[in-house]
Structure 1
């Protein structure tokens, strides 16, 4: 199959997924990114946020082809990210110099455009101290190291870099989940006064947890917990189109659609993200096969 055919297939799937959210896929935003980062050799994931003030876009996470050695420089060349002297511009190169990276992925919205690069290293898990030592890493990671350690957030398998918001997410991995009482303790210390007990219990089956950190302060903006889709828990808490989306997006593999649900907490808000895999990359399938329960 040609790269152009791949682009048409993925673009058509994006249009279908966007329609489930009552959104229109803008060719002027989506197609240039697909053309720059095709062909699609690995994972393609649809996701959407739910909750007042958080919904309104369809996000795509797409594995970067191996022929693109430096996805940040590639995105810069195509005008998807601004040129800057900020440390955000060198974090990817710092990571690739010190960590054995298995794959990179990009994240973009059909409305917002290019957002993030994900750096995935599940076979070279990193501790907080190792990552905090990188020259361009936000000091917020080191400043919160004791908080993470107290609550069992130890091994990082992936890191995302948002080039417009200038934030990062270290993705802590949990092959066996995390006890509900630990999550409750973490949220209380984070400033969530009365976390929803059902959501806390659901989050105990997570395979990833990730705080949002920036360069401007040591403050943790939010903490997110990702698990395989828990539709009975999230259904009454999200908009009907989110349920339609996460149960109706197209996919390319045998068996049932694989979807995830993510609970996001800040001290004064709780909201959700849902994601469905259109196509798996080999590393993603291997990683998820170890943690699905």
Structure 2
């Protein structure tokens, strides 16, 4: 490492921290700056080139948080860095082995880090190459994968969610895995299909907003855990350059976030998502602080999806 490297690392971390500070202030999110810098400094050597996104959400336990996500290259071990730096505790739970199992059995394009400015380190994302999406069935056979994925294969097939996976998110705090299907149904998910899916996994009846978003969804993912044999959540996501154009009523907090982001960058891209729960649904909005063309592949966006508002 050259003498310039620590300066570059520190500078990139401070720059992103300043952007986080501004957004958190707007949303009235209280956090400890040193805790944010601690996460950023662990991966800071690559921050100047990373894709960076911010996310806000509605609902209990989510409205007082601001999430930050950024990419890291495939030649690092993001889990080992997190453990060695004290961001995560070592554990013998299968969640600790999943990243290594994925790396040993799948071609990996890169990783992402996800943390809350209040709650700290949360997830590691595993990005699979668009040209080498991985079989859902093969992923279900990995020793450390939640058995609920294998038990859900028939559900996934019957509802046409897709045979392949392009992105996974390993949540170390909640000990769950997000599985993003590589090729969701063309034209989104029909309302009757959304209702059927949610009923089958004991989720709340969907609102009209959720049904409208399902119709326009470019992406679908499920959340699975090691302690339950069934899918815990189903999420539908739409991409847009203008969230106000969506056929939904935006939460006041999300509206405030959108206004702030669009003042800073009128051409920014957003992903708006709705997630099911047994006691209701909640909404999430992600904007890109720094974007590059590779994000389209990560998100599995069809050609032209962001050329015009969804």
Give your verdict on TM over 0.5: yes
Deviation string for 1:146-184 (max 9, x for gaps)? Answer: 111111112211111111211101011338442324323
Identify the match of residue 122 of structure 2 among 112, 115, 118: 115
Native 8 Å contact 1:183 1:204 kept in 2 = no
| Number of the residue aligned with 1:189 | 200
- Structure 2 unpaired stretches of 5+: 1-6
Q: How many residues get paired?
A: 290
Distance 1:259 1:186 in 2: 26
User: Once the two structures are superposed, what CA deviation does each residue of 1:2-31 show, in whole Å capped at 9, x if it has no partner?
Assistant: 333222221111111112211134212100
1:42–1:282 Cα contact (<8 Å) kept: no
Q: Is the 8 A contact 2:166 2:298 kept in 1?
A: no
Q: 1:185, CA displacement in angstroms? A: 2.6
The alpha-carbon deviation at position 202 of structure 1 amounts to: 1.9
In the alignment, which residue of structure 2 is the partner of 1:3? 9
Which consecutive aligned stretches of 4+ in structure 1 deviate over 6 angstroms post-superposition? 250-253
Q: 2:81 aligns with which of 68, 74, 85?
A: 74
SS in 1 for 2:134: coil
Distance 1:53 1:112, change over 3 A: closer
RMSD of aligned alpha carbons? 2.3
Cα distance 1:192–1:87, how it changes in 2: closer, same or farther (>3 A)?
closer
Is 1:48 equivalent to 2:59 in the alignment?
A: no
- The within-5 A match list for 1:23-172 is 23-38=29-44, 39-40=46-47, 41-66=49-74, 69-123=76-130, 124-154=132-162, 155-172=164-181
Quickly say closer, same or farther: Cα 1:75–1:53, change in 2 above 3 A: closer
Question: Which SS does the other structure have where 1:204 is aligned?
Answer: helix
Distance 1:218 1:234 in 2: 34
**Gap runs ≥5 in structure 1:** none
TM-score by length of 1: 0.90
More relative contact order, 1 or 2 (CA 8 Å, 6+ apart) = 1
TM-score, length-scaled by structure 2: 0.86
